């Protein structure tokens, strides 16, 4: 699977770990930075990842910042993006199964290394259940029309 990954300076340690985890699992990773600890603005990276999904260059995205909150808020402003802030395996699984989330947001200052790996693996490996959840995701997507 092709996965776009981005972070701000606070999310850099988690992003490095995510990129390594994904590549070891055989995924094609598009690393959009940042790659230094110099302060940067998280919205720039959230939008870069979202654009990769919109253009079809990536199937999924993962964003890392200190808490995951800023990345999630920004990514969800982009039509067709369903970003989920996940703190554990359960929220990662449900974000995929019930909400067909296409962007995972994680907090480098909130999660330990083992949790980062398990959340990423769960998010990437869990399919969307469809069925009754499809109707609800369609309603989420319909909100995009209200943004214009």
Q: Which DSSP state fits 126?
A: P
Count of alpha carbons within 13 angstroms of residue 106, beta-carbon side: 32
Provide the token pair at 114.
Answer: 């083992």
d(CA 77, CA 117): 26
Q: Cα 23 to chain center, whole Å?
A: 16
Residues carrying an active site annotation: 65, 98
Cα(53)–Cα(134) distance, integer angstroms: 19
Are the beta carbons of 56 and 69 closer than 8 angstroms? no
């Amino acid at each position: 699977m092709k996965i776009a990954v981005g972070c701000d300076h606070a999310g850099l340690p988690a992003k490095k770990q995510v990129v390594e985890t994904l590549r070891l699992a055989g995924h094609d990773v598009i690393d959009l930075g940042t790659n230094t600890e110099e302060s940067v603005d998280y919205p720039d990276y959230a939008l870069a990842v979202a654009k990769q999904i919109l253009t079809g260059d990536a199937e999924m995205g993962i964003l890392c910042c200190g808490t995951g909150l800023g990345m999630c808020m920004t990514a969800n402003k982009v039509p067709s993006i369903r970003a989920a802030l996940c703190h554990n395996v359960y929220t990662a699984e449900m974000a995929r199964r019930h909400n067909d989330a296409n962007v995972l947001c994680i907090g480098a200052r909130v999660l330990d290394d083992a949790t980062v790996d398990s959340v990423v693996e769960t998010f990437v490996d869990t399919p969307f259940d469809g069925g009754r959840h499809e109707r609800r995701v369609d309603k989420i997507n319909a909100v995009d029309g209200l943004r214009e």
